[in-house]
Amino acid sequence: MHTYQPDFDIESAVLHELPYMIHMREQFHAHPELSGREHKTSQTVLHELQKAGIEDARIIADTGVTGLIRGALPGPVLLLRADMDALPLTEQYSCSYTSQTPGVMHACGHDGHTANLLGVARILQAHRNCLRGTIRLAFQPAEEGDGGAARMIEAGILHNPHVDYALGLHVAGGLPQGYIGLRHGECSASCDDFTITIHGKGGHGSRPSDCISPIQMGVSIISQIQDYVYHKRADGDGVVLTFGQFQSGHNPNVIPDTAELKGTLRTYNEKKRQDILETLQHILTASETIYGGTCQLHVVPFSPVCINDDAVTSRVESILRHHMADRIQLITMERGSGSEDFAYFSAAVPSCFYYTGIYDKEPVFGHNPDFHWDSHALQYMAESMLTLVYYFAG
């Protein structure tokens, strides 16, 4: 029985392409762009795809980029995703490619994700003759809280041709280079950011009975919803509700008219997510009745729970163990309360999202102005993704 094997050496191809990927990663890092503003980044990606001769290379969802690579052999349509946006942070780490944009930096590894997928795309395009199936490239904008994945789906990236499966990866600052983290089922939490605006009745602090204090209403709301979450709905299931902002008033002896609370809700269960949001609204309504003020709740859904499909994840695990066991260490990731909008792809098609280690001597932490990693870690990203693509068809 003939066993499929690509007619080129993936490891050698990645090593040949590594200088290009490092150059692109460091170029993106030096010129970061915020969510929804990835204009130069997307134009650079588009130009690189066009230079490589990739079919259907075009802008999608305002500042995203897509392209298509058709293999010569039959197989599934597989979407590969890389996010491109940076964060509003001022970089503290000094190197030859430190961010040149004040107040903006790649503190989450998206520069590496983009450079990796460019290198992977070039290798896939050059070796289409032994590629089984079709690859849909998704260079995604606005992952950091601005709905980029959902917008790409709305723009039709999962059609023409119909996408069967999706794969994505993320750098893992807590894993050393050569390690790959994988998890079945829920791998990141849902995220809903919310704002509560409270309107009371201001007045002098010496006469609180003549006023409706929005501060008192806010304190009561925080206490009630946190009591509900942690005593009724947490159950050790990873539910997190955090208030990160409470703004009201300017003087110690004046009761203000308004207050604004901002927080975030993370869950792994859609039923609990909806229950907590509904309960929060009930608490606001009750607070209006008790105190006499008014409350408005505005919820901004960032992403649903990101769920790795069991069959796809088992396939990914089997391929990595069989074809990369001599070069990587595969570990089971713990479920974290961070969120990832690849979840929109995983909700639409069977998917797998995995993590690649990047640190050399000690762990590094994302969303931090000192976040830095050696670009040579791109080798493990590219090699793992290419191995999965070429052997995915089974």
261-to-6, 289, 302, 369, 386 alpha-carbon distances in Å: 56, 19, 18, 26, 46
Say what the pTM is.
0.92
Long-range contacts of 279-284 (CB under 8 A, 24+ apart): 279/225, 279/228, 280/194, 280/225, 283/221, 283/224, 283/225, 283/228, 284/196, 284/221
* Other residues' Cβ atoms within 10 Å of the Cβ of residue 74: 9
**Is pLDDT at 136 greater than 50 in this prediction?**
yes
pLDDT band at 233 (very low <50, low <70, confident <90, very high): low
CB 171 within 8 A of CB 107: no
What's the average model confidence in pLDDT over 250-264?
A: 97
Task: List pLDDT tens digits, range 271-317.
Answer: 889 999 999 999 999 999 999 999 999 999 889 999 999 999 999 99
CB 149 within 8 A of CB 342: yes
Domain edges within the chain: 10-189+305-391, 197-303
pLDDT at 98: 98
Assigned token pair, 198: 């409270």
CATH architecture group of domain 197-303: 2-Layer Sandwich (3.30)
Task: List pLDDT tens digits, range 84-114.
Answer: 999 999 999 999 999 999 999 999 999 999 9
CB 127 within 8 A of CB 42: no
pLDDT band at 236 (very low <50, low <70, confident <90, very high): low
**Is pLDDT at 50 greater than 80 in this prediction?**
yes
Task: List pLDDT tens digits, range 354-366.
Answer: 999 999 989 999 9
pLDDT at 1: 43
CB 77 within 8 A of CB 161: yes
pLDDT at 238: 77
Task: List pLDDT tens digits, range 52-84.
Answer: 999 999 999 999 999 999 999 999 999 999 999
Average pLDDT for the chain: 95
pLDDT at 221: 98
CB 191 within 8 A of CB 380: no
Superfamily of domain 10-189+305-391: Zn peptidases (3.40.630.10)
Locate tokens 């409470």: which residue?
A: 246
Give first-to-last CA distance, the chain, whole Å. Answer: 14
pLDDT at 239: 87
Task: List pLDDT tens digits, range 308-327.
Answer: 999 999 999 999 999 999 99
Cis before 161? omega within 30: yes
What's the average model confidence in pLDDT over 200-229?
A: 96
Assigned token pair, 94: 């000094």
Residues 62, 354, 304, 88, CA torsion sign: negative
pLDDT band at 269 (very low <50, low <70, confident <90, very high): confident
Helix, strand, or coil here: 302?
strand
pLDDT at 383: 98
pLDDT at 37: 97
pLDDT at 234: 60
